[in-house]
Structure formats: C-alpha cells, structure tokens
Amino acid sequence: MKGVATRSEGTVRLGPGTLYGALKRLLEAGLVEERGERAAPDRGDERRRYYRLTQLGLSVARAEARRLDAMVRAARRKKLIGERPA
C-alpha cells in the first residue's frame, strides 16, 4: 500500500481490502504469481509476500498500456489535452 502511494506520488491510495482483493483476482487470472521468498524476520514482517507478473500478466499490461496510449493520442488530436502533461 505504501509502495503504490509512493510510486503514484500520493495520487493512488489503496486500502487493505482493495489491495488484497485485487491480488486475489490477479492470482486467480494467472496474471501474477507469488515469488515464494519471504522477508527476513529481522528486516520486516515475515508475513510479507512478494509477487511478480507472469508472462500472461506482462502481455496484458503491455496491451493495456498500448490501449491507454491510443486513448491519450486521440484526446490530444481532439485538443482535449495538451502535448505536455499538466
């Protein structure tokens, strides 16, 4: 949850229900998998789990990035947004 907030510069905040619900759906869809390693007890919570994208997850993420890119290009063509981010 902290990582998402940091990476999004505070624009996205996830609660535990949202995060763990999304992780469950991603696992069930085969888009992510648990890495099997755990944090060292002296370095953090030993309950912490690590996940990574599967090949399918990477393909889906790339397709979604292309879809979003096309939407942004269309919005720029229609002068809905400028050339530079706000």
b or e along 37-66 (b: 16 or more beta carbons within 10 Å of the residue's beta carbon)?
eeeeeeeeeeeeeeeeebeebeebeeeeee
Domain match, 46 and 86 both = no
Domain match, 22 and 48 both = yes
Residue linked to tokens 């696992």 = 27
Domain match, 12 and 42 both = yes
Closest CA to 73 of 83, 65, 63: 83
* Predicted structure pTM score: 0.74
Q: Count of domains in the chain?
A: 2
Return d(Cα 23, Cα 25) in angstroms, integer.
5
- Write out pLDDT tens, residues 23-73: 999 999 999 999 987 666 666 677 788 899 999 999 999 999 999 999 999
Domain match, 42 and 70 both = no
Domain match, 37 and 4 both = yes
50 residue type, one letter:
Y
Domain match, 86 and 46 both = no
- Print the domain residue range for 18: 1-53
